[in-house]
Amino acid sequence: MATNLDASQFVKSKYIKGSDLNTRRPTRVTIQDVDQQEFPEQGQKLILKFLETDQQLILNKTQTTTLIELFGPQTGTWRGKRVNLMQVSSSYQGRPTILITEAESAAAAPEENEDNPF
């Protein structure tokens, strides 16, 4: 019988929120796939799936625009791309949101998963 479980694993949301991320450093992830999903109050949204976690990211317009600027408008070209996710303050609804930036090259990258919240 397991006696020392991490109970936080049982309350994780299917979707990544800004508050899930480390506030001091970016979390580097690899885009595994891009899908779309209908949300009752928000309409169609793009969803990013990552290799490093089962949690997915629902993209807002700003995040989608950033990915288009980085990798082009065809979501198929986003697969395999590395990006940084960072928690940033937001005035929208008073909750932290997620900033997406391009991950630096592997040669210049810091040690992987040092503080990976996943």
Question: What is the domain-level CATH number for residue 104?
Answer: 2.40.50
The yes-or-no verdict on residue 10 having pLDDT over 70 is yes
Total domains present in the chain: 1
Q: Give, as one character, the DSSP assignment of residue 8.
A: G
pLDDT of residue 77: 96
Going by C-alpha positions, the residue among 46, 65, 54 that lies closest to residue 20 is 54
Helix (H, G, I), strand (E, B) or coil at 58: strand
Instruction: Determine the structural domain holding residue 49 and report its residue range.
Output: 14-108
Average pLDDT, the chain: 84
How confident is residue 69, by pLDDT bands cut at 50, 70 and 90?
A: very high
Q: Answer for the pair 65, 37: CB distance below 8 angstroms, yes or no.
A: no
Q: Enumerate residues 6+ apart whose C-beta is below 8 A from 42.
A: none
Q: pLDDT by residue (tens digit) across 29-59?
A: 999 999 999 999 889 999 999 999 999 999 9
